[in-house]
């Protein structure tokens, strides 16, 4: 099986980009080990603090963020980083040309029940003359990403990665610490009978989404004329991985539960990297109003609605919104 670095070289990635991706994965291997140790490593449970999102931080949230932050800033490959767990961006090497946005541990509510969690990351380029302390250097559309990926910590540790030439899936060989290519060029089926949504929020959804899900649940006797299965892992990284492997639709739509936060998922380090992976695998990623990758960000923790997955099913969902 082919190892990660040679595959990136084949894709024409620069030496710096290859080294940066390997740096991110070095931190992810350590996170994988800590997650795998569970209660034995003393990192389960919550802290007494909240992050900038107003969410109670898990101990592993803090640990994962610090691991990624330290290794990236010490590497010299990044001009600045942006993280779900940081109030604002953090400056790095002023001479570097890459910036990295990441969710250090997506699905952290799953930590204490030994369910799926993962790390999501997005890499973009900036001018070498730009100010590393200026958060606005991150305000680029998802089309500007030079690489995006996630590392899923499950029964095996897996990497989904795109550098703009398709989406590939790698598996961590823990005997010697290398990510080996196990799924070359993932291809999402255009049609599906699976969907993932947090149904507990049904009463807060907008009318188009309520009608769409109602029609799915009506099965063969409804307007769609076929039965659908619902899957929900409560970690975007897990639900998107299933979509990449066998198709499906994942959505976290707009809702009215908190008028100040109509959207759940963050654009820069959740929606954008996942949208790139999905599109590069032949799927579609949308908000209901526009393509996710075309959004011009206005702030680093901006939130958006997300509808992504099998192309024909996403378009069917969008039909209810138009």
* Residue 321 confidence class, pLDDT cut points 50, 70, 90: very high
270 annotated as a binding-site residue: yes
**Is the distance from CB of 210 to CB of 256 less than 8 angstroms?**
no
Taking the model in full, what pTM does it have?
A: 0.96
177 annotated as a binding-site residue: no
Question: Which domains are assigned to the chain?
Answer: 4-183 (3.30.540.10), 194-321 (3.40.190.80)
Count Cβ atoms below 10 Å from residue 86 Cβ, excluding itself: 17
pLDDT in tens, 170-190: 999 999 899 999 999 999 999
Evaluate if residue 14 carries a pLDDT over 80. Answer: yes
Q: Stretch 282-299: mean pLDDT, rounded?
A: 98
Helix extents (H) in the chain = 4-10, 15-37, 59-75, 207-217, 236-246, 272-280, 311-321
109 annotated as a binding-site residue: yes
107 annotated as a binding-site residue: yes
Evaluate if residue 220 carries a pLDDT over 70. Answer: yes
46 annotated as a binding-site residue: no
pLDDT in tens, 224-264: 999 999 999 999 999 999 999 999 999 999 999 999 999 99
Evaluate if residue 48 carries a pLDDT over 70. Answer: no
Evaluate if residue 162 carries a pLDDT over 80. Answer: yes
pLDDT at 69: 98
pLDDT above 90 covers a percentage of the chain that reads 89
For 313, counting Cβ atoms within 10 Å of its Cβ (0-12 exposed, 13-18 middle, 19+ buried), the class is: buried
* Residue 109 confidence class, pLDDT cut points 50, 70, 90: confident
Helix (H/G/I), strand (E/B), else coil: 272: helix
294 annotated as a binding-site residue: no
Evaluate if residue 42 carries a pLDDT over 90. Answer: no
* Residue 118 confidence class, pLDDT cut points 50, 70, 90: very high
pLDDT at 73: 98
In degrees rounded to 5, what are phi and psi of residue 134?
Answer: -95, 110
pLDDT at 112: 87
pLDDT in tens, 58-83: 889 999 999 999 999 999 999 999 99
pLDDT in tens, 139-154: 999 999 999 999 999 9
Evaluate if residue 311 carries a pLDDT over 80. Answer: yes
pLDDT above 70 covers a percentage of the chain that reads 97
264 annotated as a binding-site residue: yes
Q: Give the tokens for residue 307.
A: 């509808």
108 annotated as a binding-site residue: yes
What is the pLDDT of the chain when averaged over all its residues? 95
Evaluate if residue 33 carries a pLDDT over 90. Answer: yes
pLDDT at 46: 77
pLDDT at 322: 84
Q: What is the DSSP letter of 318?
A: H
Provide the residue count of the chain. Answer: 322
């Amino acid at each position: 099986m082919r190892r990660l670095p040679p595959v990136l070289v084949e894709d024409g990635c620069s030496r710096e980009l290859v080294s940066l991706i390997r740096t991110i994965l070095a931190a992810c291997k350590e996170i994988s080990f800590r997650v795998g140790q569970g209660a034995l490593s003393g990192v389960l449970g919550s802290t007494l603090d909240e992050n900038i999102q107003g969410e109670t931080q898990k101990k592993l949230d803090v640990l994962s963020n610090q691991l990624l932050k330290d290794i990236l800033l010490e590497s010299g490959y990044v001009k600045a980083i942006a993280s779900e767990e940081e109030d604002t961006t953090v400056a790095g090497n002023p001479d570097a040309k890459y910036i990295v946005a990441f969710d250090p541990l997506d699905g952290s509510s799953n930590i204490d029940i030994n369910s799926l969690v993962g790390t999501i990351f997005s890499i973009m380029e900036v001018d070498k003359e730009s100010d590393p302390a200026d958060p606005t250097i991150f305000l680029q559309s998802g089309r500007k990403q030079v690489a995006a990926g996630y590392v899923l910590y499950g029964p095996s540790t897996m990497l989904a990665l795109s550098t703009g030439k398709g989406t590939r899936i790698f598996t961590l060989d823990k005997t010697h610490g290398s990510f080996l290519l196990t799924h070359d060029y993932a291809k999402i089926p255009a049609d599906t009978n699976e969907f993932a949504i947090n149904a507990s929020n049904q009463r807060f959804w907008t009318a188009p989404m309520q009608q769409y899900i109602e029609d799915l649940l009506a099965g063969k006797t409804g307007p769609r004329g076929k039965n659908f299965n619902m899957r929900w892992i409560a970690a975007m990284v897990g639900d998107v991985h299933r979509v990449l492997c066998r198709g499906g639709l994942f959505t976290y739509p707009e809702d009215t539960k908190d008028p100040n936060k109509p959207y759940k998922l963050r654009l820069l380090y959740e929606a954008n990297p996942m949208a790139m992976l999905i599109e590069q695998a032949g799927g579609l990623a949308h908000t209901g109003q526009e393509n996710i990758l075309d959004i011009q960000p206005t702030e680093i923790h901006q939130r958006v609605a997300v509808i992504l997955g099998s192309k024909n099913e996403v378009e069917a969902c969008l039909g209810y919104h138009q």
